[in-house]
Amino acid sequence: MAAKHLDKAGEPFTLVSMNEYHYLTTLLHEAAGGRRKPKEYAVPISHLLKSPSSKLVVDEVIAIDKEHRVVHTRGGERSYEWLVVALGWIPDYFGIAGLAEHSMTLTNLASAARIQEHIVSEFARYEQDKDPNHLCIAIGGAGLTGIELMGEILDFVSLLCIRFGVDRRLVQVHNIEALPMILPQISEELRGIAQQVLEEKGAKLHTGTRIVRVTPGVVWLEDGSNISAGTIVWTGGVRANPLLKEAGLTVDRKGRAKVNAFLQSVDDDHIFVGGDCSWYEEDGKALPTSAQLAAQMGRTLALNVRSIAHGRTMKTFHPHLQGTLASLGREIGIGDVGGVAVSGMPAGLLKEATKMKYMWQLGGIRLAATKGVEIVHL
């Protein structure tokens, strides 16, 4: 979002991205869960950056040398005067044996496509050999990502059962969570509603249950039991890109770089950090990582980079948490909007409306009109 604001202001900059497209991170569960084709959740960056002074370089950042103000990429070195770091996150496996090797993660558009394709291929394999493990899906983690993914998959498998002529009662979708509840960031009342909705759709929720190891096709639990599953997806933990720590920046236990009120690194005032990489504290408490805060940071990052580059006074970042919405499938959801609890179809509609809002913020009325038709269901 910072690049979009810099582009709109006509401020010259270079954006280094691994892809030629921007993907809709908060909707990856929809792509993985088969709601639409994964490619529909991507927008070419060339459609977003309009200023001739905005430059896109498709490359991968592999190191940051803050002493010499150089970013190292696969394609070479790039010097900078002011650097904005928004490298996102990587999965955190918490040292669980075999988890990284034998599970899939929902980290980007390509991984979402792999999950969708894998689930379909498992149904096709069941058609051939009737092995029930092909119809078993295990999801680790019951935060927003894990629960939204589960809601999508529960709807998706019902469609696949029709497509492949499979009895829906044979399909198992498990969620394993170490905490004693799902969705810890929302109220107990809403958690109860979410649990009821998911279980009515056929979900098997295992709260207060730790995964201790994973072997090919098997999730082992702390009580000695196991779940055999043809599809295993891990959504139970993330941490910031390790390049921040490797660059010598002060980081928290999640690897996020500590920033000041202007979103500058506390170690180097030529480096700004935003999104999931940013450790920002308000009243002594670190802000959570969230898409809405990342978008708000984008505006402040752009404003402050321009200000410091031109000798103007920077603005303090003021976060505004507007609530949390979670989809529980294609039609319904739950959430807290401005302190008001919502659930069912109204929450589902609000969730869809947030997509349109983001499209408008990202690309104006044109993107909202074109991409909104593809991904918004009202």
Same domain assignment for residues 231 and 243 = no
Same domain, 152 and 75: no
Percent of the chain with pLDDT over 90: 87
Asked, for residue 44, whether it belongs to a domain, the answer is no
Interatomic CA distance for residues 210 and 42, integer angstroms: 35
Q: Do 230 and 252 lie in a common domain?
A: no
The total domain count for the chain is 2
In a domain, 72, yes or no: yes
**Do 127 and 198 reside in the same domain of the chain?**
yes
pTM (whole model) above 0.75: yes
Name which residue leads in pLDDT, 206 or 355: 206
Point out the residues that are catalytic: 148
Q: 63-117 pLDDT, tens per residue?
A: 999 999 999 999 999 999 999 999 999 999 999 999 999 999 999 999 999 999 9
* Among 15, 7, 16, residue whose Cα is nearest residue 51: 7
* CATH at 302: 3.50.50.60
Q: Is 281 helix (H, G, I), strand (E, B) or coil?
A: strand
Q: Are residues 129 and 194 in the same domain?
A: yes
The amino acid sitting at 154 is L
Could you say which of 321, 344, 372 is where a domain stops?
321
Task: Let me know whether 64 and 131 are in one domain.
Answer: no
Could you list the residue range(s) of the whole structural domain that residue 231 is in?
Answer: 99-236
User: Is position 43 within any domain?
Assistant: no
Determine, yes or no, domain membership for 340.
Answer: no
Tell me which of 292, 321, 350 is where a domain ends.
321
Question: Could you report the per-residue pLDDT of 69-78, keeping only the tens digit for each?
Answer: 999 999 999 9
pLDDT at 290 over 90: no
Q: Is the pLDDT of residue 378 over 70?
A: no
User: Is residue 52 a part of any domain in this protein?
Assistant: no
- Considering the domain architecture, whether residues 213 and 306 belong to the same structural domain is answered as no
Do 150 and 164 belong together in one domain? yes
| Rounded-to-integer distance, Cα 18 and Cα 59, Å | 5
Q: Is residue 256 part of a domain?
A: yes
Residues 205 and 248 in one domain: no
Same domain, 232 and 108: yes
pLDDT in tens, 351-368: 999 988 888 888 888 888
Q: Which of 282, 304, 321 lies at the terminal end of a domain, its last residue?
A: 321
Same domain? 199 vs 156: yes
Distance in angstroms (rounded) separating the CA atoms of residues 59 and 15: 10
Cβ atoms of residues 353 and 218 within 8 Å: no
Look over the chain and give the mean of its residue pLDDT values, rounded to a whole number. Answer: 95
Q: Is 70 exceeded by the pLDDT of residue 1? A: yes
Residues 249 and 202 in one domain: no
Distance CA 365, CA 360 (A): 6
Confidence of residue 291 (pLDDT cuts 50, 70, 90): confident
Looking at residues 187-199, what average pLDDT do you find?
Answer: 96
